[in-house]
Amino acid sequence: MVAYILSILAAVGGVALAALVFSKVKRASDDRDPGGPSAGHAGSMLSAMFLLVFAIAIIVPWTTADAARLNTQTESQSAIDAYWAAGDLPGTAPLEVRAALRDYVTFVIRDEWPFMAEGRMHPVGAAKVDALRGRVDALQVRGDTQEDAKDAVLEHIRAVSAARAQRTADAAATPPAGLLHLTVLTAVVVILFPFLAGARPRGPALAPLVAMAGLLGFGVFLTWDISRAFAGPLAVGPEAFRGAMQEFARIAGGM
């Protein structure tokens, strides 16, 4: 934060120094016109600055949401693969492992998703995956078929755990620190710039200014509203896990 403040002060100091130096140049002329070169140049740069910050504030959450959506597909598919592989486990293990997988996916859909909208995960979810992994790891198997089935189920559960860890990171992810505040600041400066430059719009001239302010306000609100992958207009839903539940039912019905 100190570095940011110092950089701002350095830039302001550079402008002050330039104004002092060029005030001594005889061919230079005063520029007090709100539509003059100084105001025009500053206005263009401020608009470009806002557009740059706004674009970053939109693109970062958008890409995060896309990555989170793909990751839910990976996690749910790993659960489906584990459900398939469990069929060759010995004794009652297939029923137990498949019941645990259904319980986990149901838990994610019903109980954990609301937590993720707040940027956090339910503490029970990781314990469920660990318990399932420990249960499968402790199975006593005989023969290559059962051994291969056990290894396959463990591999898919590890994939579920890895995807879950990524989902944890996706839920907590937000745009870079200060970006949203900078979006607000640049939007306010762009709105107030005509007045700061000395213009005093009246009558019909206020209409485009009001329209711009309204659109900028909506854009700034949007950047805040989509800042989390599992909340807001771009929110990633549990559709992949609901699809996994349908696959579980299809697999169980076909066995």
pLDDT tens figures, 22-66: 455 555 555 555 555 556 656 677 788 888 888 888 888 889 999
The answer to whether residue 15 is domain-embedded is: no
pLDDT range class, residue 10, cuts 50, 70, 90: low
Q: Note the Cα 25 to chain centre separation in Å.
A: 52
The answer to whether residue 141 is domain-embedded is: yes
The answer to whether residue 44 is domain-embedded is: yes
The answer to whether residue 203 is domain-embedded is: yes
For the entire predicted model, the pTM comes to: 0.78
For the chain, helix (H) and strand (E) counts, in that order, are: 9, 0
The answer to whether residue 27 is domain-embedded is: no
Q: Would you say residue 17 has pLDDT above 70?
A: no
If 0-12 CB within 10 Å is exposed, 13-18 middle and 19+ buried, where does residue 126 land?
Answer: middle
The answer to whether residue 17 is domain-embedded is: no
pLDDT, residue 36, reads: 57
The answer to whether residue 18 is domain-embedded is: no
Q: Note the Cα 229 to chain centre separation in Å.
A: 4
The answer to whether residue 4 is domain-embedded is: no
Give the pLDDT mean for 169-183: 87
Domain that holds residue 115: 36-254
pLDDT tens figures, 195-204: 777 767 777 7
Total of domains in the chain: 1
If 0-12 CB within 10 Å is exposed, 13-18 middle and 19+ buried, where does residue 16 land?
Answer: exposed
